[in-house]
Amino acid sequence: MSTPSIPAGTEPAARAGALRLPDKPRTRLRTTLVIAAFAAFTVATCIPAIGGIDPDFGALIRNWDNGSGLLARLFQPDFAFLPRTVGPMLETLQMALVGAVAAAAVSVPLTLWAAAPTNPNALTRRALRAVINIVRAIPDLVYATILVAMVGVGALPGLITLFLFDLGIIVKLVSEAIDSADHSYLEAGRAAGGTQAQLNRVTALPQSWPLFANQWLYTLELNVRISAILGIVGAGGIGRLLDERRAFYAYDDVSVIILEILVVVILIEIVSNVLRRRLV
């Protein structure tokens, strides 16, 4: 398509007007419709007559005094209780570290097996992904409840639960990242006559170490938080002490435990960020 001719004496403004780009299409109507549909769907989920939930906001207002009293007690931590939390917190950190390390070791071969570039066999790849999806679909509290009934109260059921939880996250996220990356080096290796095992070991695995490191550190952070919940069903760690003090309505002690978990998680996150900058 030829550019329209402009007389030599035409002003620059006229030239700019003749070459002006078309206006950007407006999507205001479509955006409004999407927002309206989302709002209507949200309102519909709160109508019990059509199968929605029935949120009782009146109960929240009526029972506000109970909640405000609980919050007031939580804001009065008894730091004299802090020495008693050291042992359970160390047990929580041990569970978190051992679970993360065990999952890290097992996740490497499974991740390479679950990614298409590192495992061209569709049958075995889909079978492993199905197993990982099943592992991820079961909530961690369900794992902990079953394992406590099987092996008894203590750190072992919590450790196994953290291992399964971490394994599902690492294999899922890292394998998807490998699938979406560019793998021209694998094609070059195949052209040179390398086997899939050789290509995975020499090329794919070194390229994937930063991905693994990020997820390993992330699961270590998660383990400390999750172990506090697992203790409610008897899976050991600081969570068991937290549930015990809650059952006795000792919310000043509960507040100390919550603050301790918060501090530990923040410290682990700071260390993880430093390690990420060095590893990636």
Three-state SS across 138-206?
CCHHHHHHHHHHHHCCCHHHHHHHHHHHHHHHHHHHHHHHHHHCCCHHHHHHHHCCCCHHHHHHHHHHH
Give the CA distances from residue 140 to residues 62, 113, 145, 178, 219, in Å, rounded to whole numbers and listed in that order: 34, 24, 9, 26, 13
C-alpha 49/C-alpha 100 separation (Å) is 46
Mean pLDDT over all residues of the chain? 82
Condensed to tens digits (0 to 9), the pLDDT of residues 233-259 reads 888 788 888 888 888 888 889 999 999
Q: Say whether pLDDT at 2 is over 60.
A: no
Higher pLDDT, 211 or 84: 84
**Token couple for 190:** 């195949």
pLDDT at 131: 93
Delimit the domains of the chain by residue range.
28-55, 79-279
pLDDT at 24: 67
Cα–chain-centroid distance for residue 249? 32
Give the CA distances from residue 205 to residues 35, 63, 109, 209, in Å, rounded to whole numbers and listed in that order: 44, 56, 10, 6
In this prediction the pTM is 0.75
CB under 8 Å, gap of 24 or more: what pairs does 250-253 form?
Answer: 251/70, 251/73, 251/74, 252/73, 252/74, 252/76, 252/77, 252/78, 252/81, 253/78, 253/81
pLDDT at 42: 84
Condensed to tens digits (0 to 9), the pLDDT of residues 189-221 reads 666 666 777 777 777 777 888 888 888 888 988
Q: What's the fold here for domain 79-279?
A: MetI-like fold (1.10.3720)
pLDDT grade for 52, boundaries at 50, 70 and 90: confident
- Residue type present at position 60: L
3-class secondary structure, 58: helix
Q: Say whether pLDDT at 76 is over 60.
A: yes
**Residues 88-98, mean pLDDT to the nearest whole number:** 90
pLDDT at 8: 54
